[in-house]
Protein backbone atom coordinates (compact mmCIF):
# COMPACT_ATOMS: atom_id res chain seq x y z
CA UNK A 1 0.00 0.00 0.00
CA UNK A 2 1.12 3.55 -0.72
CA UNK A 3 0.02 6.55 1.30
CA UNK A 4 0.75 10.15 0.37
CA UNK A 5 0.78 12.95 2.96
CA UNK A 6 0.26 16.42 1.51
CA UNK A 7 0.99 19.88 2.88
CA UNK A 8 1.50 23.26 1.29
CA UNK A 9 5.27 23.24 1.01
CA UNK A 10 6.29 19.65 1.71
CA UNK A 11 8.71 20.74 4.45
CA UNK A 12 6.64 21.31 7.59
CA UNK A 13 3.27 19.87 8.34
CA UNK A 14 3.51 17.03 5.82
CA UNK A 15 6.66 15.78 7.52
CA UNK A 16 4.92 15.76 10.90
CA UNK A 17 1.92 14.15 9.24
CA UNK A 18 4.12 11.47 7.60
CA UNK A 19 5.77 10.53 10.90
CA UNK A 20 2.48 10.39 12.75
CA UNK A 21 0.76 8.44 9.97
CA UNK A 22 3.63 5.92 10.17
CA UNK A 23 3.18 5.70 13.93
CA UNK A 24 -0.57 5.28 13.57
CA UNK A 25 -0.08 2.53 10.96
CA UNK A 26 2.29 0.70 13.31
CA UNK A 27 -0.33 0.81 16.05
CA UNK A 28 -2.86 -0.60 13.57
CA UNK A 29 -0.42 -3.27 12.38
CA UNK A 30 -0.61 -2.01 8.79
CA UNK A 31 2.44 -1.90 6.52
CA UNK A 32 2.59 0.89 3.93
CA UNK A 33 4.98 3.21 2.16
CA UNK A 34 4.33 6.78 3.27
CA UNK A 35 5.54 9.57 1.00
CA UNK A 36 5.42 13.37 1.24
CA UNK A 37 4.24 15.81 -1.42
CA UNK A 38 3.49 19.52 -1.56
CA UNK A 39 0.19 20.81 -2.88
CA UNK A 40 1.76 21.68 -6.26
CA UNK A 41 2.97 18.14 -7.01
CA UNK A 42 0.37 16.19 -5.04
CA UNK A 43 -1.97 15.44 -7.94
CA UNK A 44 0.78 13.72 -9.91
CA UNK A 45 2.24 12.00 -6.87
CA UNK A 46 -1.21 10.74 -5.86
CA UNK A 47 -1.55 8.73 -9.08
CA UNK A 48 -0.07 5.59 -7.55
CA UNK A 49 -1.33 6.13 -4.02
CA UNK A 50 -4.09 4.21 -2.24
CA UNK A 51 -4.72 6.92 0.32
CA UNK A 52 -3.98 10.63 0.39
CA UNK A 53 -3.79 12.21 3.85
CA UNK A 54 -4.02 15.99 4.22
CA UNK A 55 -5.62 18.77 6.24
CA UNK A 56 -9.16 20.08 5.85
CA UNK A 57 -7.74 23.37 4.58
CA UNK A 58 -5.84 21.75 1.71
CA UNK A 59 -8.17 18.88 0.78
CA UNK A 60 -10.48 21.02 -1.41
CA UNK A 61 -7.42 22.31 -3.32
CA UNK A 62 -6.52 18.77 -4.41
CA UNK A 63 -9.64 18.42 -6.51
CA UNK A 64 -10.94 15.02 -7.60
CA UNK A 65 -8.51 12.14 -7.06
CA UNK A 66 -8.73 8.44 -7.71
CA UNK A 67 -7.22 7.75 -4.29
CA UNK A 68 -9.37 8.16 -1.20
CA UNK A 69 -8.65 11.41 0.66
CA UNK A 70 -8.39 11.27 4.44
CA UNK A 71 -8.74 14.63 6.18
CA UNK A 72 -6.79 15.18 9.42
CA UNK A 73 -7.13 18.43 11.34
CA UNK A 74 -4.97 17.62 14.35
CA UNK A 75 -1.61 16.51 13.02
CA UNK A 76 -0.03 15.84 16.42
CA UNK A 77 -2.72 13.50 17.78
CA UNK A 78 -1.62 10.01 16.73
CA UNK A 79 -4.75 8.33 18.19
CA UNK A 80 -7.08 10.49 16.10
CA UNK A 81 -4.98 9.83 13.00
CA UNK A 82 -5.11 6.07 13.69
CA UNK A 83 -8.90 6.19 13.98
CA UNK A 84 -9.29 8.14 10.74
CA UNK A 85 -6.94 5.76 8.88
CA UNK A 86 -8.67 2.70 10.31
CA UNK A 87 -12.03 3.98 9.08
CA UNK A 88 -10.65 4.78 5.62
CA UNK A 89 -8.92 1.41 5.30
CA UNK A 90 -11.97 -0.59 6.30
CA UNK A 91 -14.03 1.34 3.75
CA UNK A 92 -11.46 0.65 1.05
CA UNK A 93 -11.55 -3.10 1.66
Binding region for other proteins (CB under 8 A): 7-13, 15-16, 19-20, 22-23, 26, 36, 38-39, 55-58, 61, 73-78
As measured in angstroms, the least distance from the Cβ of 53 to other proteins is 13
Residue 33 falls in the annotated catalytic set: no
Query: Which one is catalytic: 7, 36, 53, 88?
Result: 7
Residue 17: its H or E element: helix 13-28
Q: CA 5 to CA 16: how far, in whole Å?
A: 9
Distance between CA atoms of residues 47 and 60, nearest Å: 17
- Cβ proximity to other proteins: between 4 and 7 the closer is 7
Nearer to other proteins, 79 or 90 (CB): 79
Which residues carry out catalysis?
7
Amino acid sequence: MKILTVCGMGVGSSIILKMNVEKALRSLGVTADVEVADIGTARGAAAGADLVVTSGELAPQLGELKAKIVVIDNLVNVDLIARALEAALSEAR
